[in-house]
Amino acid sequence: MNPQTRSQTKRLGGFLLFTLVCGLVVLGGSISTVRAGDGASPSLAATRTPANRLPALKPSTIITPTAAQELAFALGVDATDLISATLNGSDPDGVGIGTTPLGGFPTQGSTFAILSTGQAASAELPNDEGDLGVMLQGLNNSQGNDLVQLALRVHVPENKNCLHVDFKFLSEEFPEFVGSSYNDTFTAELGGTNIIISGNSVSAPLNFAFDTQHEIISVNTVFGVTDNTGTTYDGATPLLRTQTPVTPTATVDVVFSVQDLGDSFWDSAVFLDRFFWTNEASCGTGAQWPYQVHLPVIRR
pLDDT tens digits for 219-236? 999 999 999 899 999 999
Domain count, the chain: 1
pLDDT tens digits for 76-121? 999 999 999 999 999 999 999 999 999 999 999 999 999 999 999 9
Q: How many Å is the Cα radius of gyration of the chain?
A: 18
pLDDT score at 154: 98
Q: Is residue 54 part of a domain?
A: no
Q: Is residue 297 part of a domain?
A: no
pTM: 0.83
Q: Is residue 147 part of a domain?
A: yes
Q: Would the pLDDT of 51 be above 60?
A: no
Q: Give me the domain span that covers residue 186.
A: 3-47+59-288
Q: Is residue 211 part of a domain?
A: yes
Q: Is residue 296 part of a domain?
A: no
Q: Is residue 294 part of a domain?
A: no
Q: Is residue 143 part of a domain?
A: yes
